[in-house]
Structure 1
Amino acid sequence: MTLSHKLSPGPRAAAASLAVALALLAPTPARAHFLELIPSADIVGAEGNRAVRLDLAFTHPMERGPVMEMAPPVRFGVVADGKTRDLKSTLKPRKLGDKTAFEAAFTPDAPGDYVFFVEPAPYWEAGEGKWITHYTKVVVDFASGEGWDRLVGLPVEIEPLARPYGLWTGNLFRGIVRKAGKPVPFATVEVEWRNDGSVTAPADPFVTQVIKADAQGQFAYAMPRAGWWGFAALVDGDKPVKSPEGKPAKAELGGLIWLRTVDMK
């Protein structure tokens, strides 16, 4: 056998090398980030314990992680009966693995719809080279049924066109993406189900559903499974922001809303 024959790779080795090279060149799908704001109940009855626990975490809901480190929020509050209450002092840090998340407790004191919201500190996503700020809200009803469509006034916000609680599995949720109060034509809306471990996505496109709003900023999505669903309307910031290294970087602004569906039995 000649020296050249000894050094030449066989067909299997060549195929394996090609597969590795293609894998390295293939783009890695970006994972959708969602700020979770999940109440212990989205409907509070007139009788019994009315205390509501709220869990905050920055994560990938459908994939059940990983959890990202969360800094103390800039704002945390609730809108009810036309008034905004500052609840930031009620936040308590908690650990999810080695990452920081937060929790809070609140007891409704009068019938009404309570729109809880959070403005997080911007999160630096090194892998994508951008800052992420997701303004997030969830509605809890206490023996009312009124006020669920009231806007908080967040920089980016989803205005619900369907009541965001009391939803059966399969119901259609509709909303308007707004930035500075104005509809955002053709905005991108990402949707994820908060996986309880019972579903494994057969391929990456099943992890995050993607919707494009119409020219009036309206979108719709029918939720096929019971549980918590997050809708994230994503828009670009108006100007670059300095990265941790001091270089200009993009800013992603998100308007999120969470809602829960229940199986009809």
Structure 2
Amino acid sequence: MFFHGNLMTAALALTLVPGLASAHFQLSYTENALIDRPGDVPVKLLFWHPFENGHVMDMAEPLEFYAIHRGEKIDLKGTLARTTFTGAANEAVAWDASLPVKRAGDYVLVTVPAPYLETSEDIFIQQITKAYLNRGQMPTDWTGPQGLKAEIVPMVKPYNVLAGSTFTGRVLSNGAPVAGAEIEIEYMAAEPDMATGGARPATAAPMPGGAIVAISDENGYFTFGIPRAGWWGFAALGVGPDTEHQGKELSQDAVIWIRAFDVK
């Protein structure tokens, strides 16, 4: 699956797009992707520009928030608590939650947010987001799709990617591959501080030239070289089947977060 002929084409399509502003990204953030022991793992949901610690958007209560573990769905909406998150530019509504981790295996966090009205563009944005945690080094769920309207399926184990290697994903819309999808790529240079509800200082500056973008090939695949450790987000823009909300254009995006580590 990894070595089809057009994978290199998708990799070479990676570019910097000058016209794009800094990217909106839905976060389903945990401090760690690898969990050592059983317990409740704190999760913070927010809509932000984490590369540059930029503007934070008010996030309505998610329509759905759950985890997939060993093929079973764990509803997490009951753990949600409304809060605020403070970035460098402003404060906005966010949500605290928790994930009960018991058995070993993968925990795929799925967030289906309510559409957000971006008034500057007069469109709604809905970023259906996945993040991956693992306990006990036992892979159980990361390889498959979750049956979402829009999603990116990882072709590389997403919670321990090697910095300096590559990440490959496949963009799906209602389970079908999406050719020519535009994928914005974001480094979480500023991470949330779970204790204070604010942002830690950014450890890198955004790239010159605008948002980092890759284009999927005819089978929905794209590849990106991971230059450094940390959290990396990928947002396939407008790939979902829903294109309108409340009489306005809707960009239904697929977002995935992966965690990269340095080799030591």
Range into which the TM-score falls when normalised by the shorter chain: 0.7 to 0.9
Match of 1:6 in 2: none
TM-score between both structures, scaled by the size of structure 2: 0.82
Q: 1:236 to 1:110 in 2, by over 3 A?
A: closer
Deviation per residue, 1:130-183 (Å, 9 max, x gap): 110000011111111222113221110001111101222112111110000000
- The equivalences for 1:154-173 within 5 A come to 154-173=148-167
Q: 1:126 to 1:141 in 2, by over 3 A?
A: same
SS in 2 for 1:235: coil
More displaced 10-residue stretch of structure 1: 129-138 or 230-239: 230-239
User: Distance in 1 between the 2:257 and 2:207 partners?
Assistant: 24
Shift of 1:256: 0.7
User: Distance in 2 between the 1:168 and 1:28 partners?
Assistant: 31
Q: Unpaired segments of 5 or more residues in structure 1? A: 1-26
User: Distance in 2 between the 1:238 and 1:112 partners?
Assistant: 31
Are positions 1:203 and 2:184 aligned together?
no
Query: Of 133, 144, 150, which aligns to 1:140?
Result: 133
Contact 1:236–1:250 (8 Å) recurs in 2: no
Structure 1 residue ranges, 4+ long, deviating more than 6 angstroms after superposition: none
Contact 1:125–1:131 (8 Å) recurs in 2: yes
Contact 1:131–1:249 (8 Å) recurs in 2: yes
User: Distance in 2 between the 1:179 and 1:216 partners?
Assistant: 12
Structure having greater relative contact order (Cα 8 Å, sep ≥ 6)? 2
Contact 1:172–1:222 (8 Å) recurs in 2: yes
Contact 1:239–1:250 (8 Å) recurs in 2: no
Q: 1:262 to 1:91 in 2, by over 3 A?
A: same
Aligned-residue sequence identity (percent) comes to 34
- The equivalences for 1:116-127 within 5 A come to 116-127=109-120
User: Distance in 1 between the 2:72 and 2:239 partners?
Assistant: 29
TM-score between both structures, scaled by the size of structure 1: 0.82
Report the structure, 1 or 2, having the larger helix content: 1
Query: Of 101, 107, 120, which aligns to 1:108?
Result: 101
User: Distance in 1 between the 2:207 and 2:236 partners?
Assistant: 25
User: Distance in 1 between the 2:172 and 2:40 partners?
Assistant: 31
User: Distance in 2 between the 1:170 and 1:28 partners?
Assistant: 28
Q: 1:106 to 1:214 in 2, by over 3 A?
A: same
Q: 1:30 to 1:103 in 2, by over 3 A?
A: same
Structure number with larger C-alpha Rg: 1
Match of 1:20 in 2: none
- The equivalences for 1:12-161 within 5 A come to 29-45=20-36, 48=37, 50-97=39-86, 98-143=91-136, 144-161=138-155
Contact 2:242–2:252 (8 Å) recurs in 1: no
SS in 1 for 2:101: coil
Total equivalences in the alignment: 231
Match of 1:222 in 2: 225
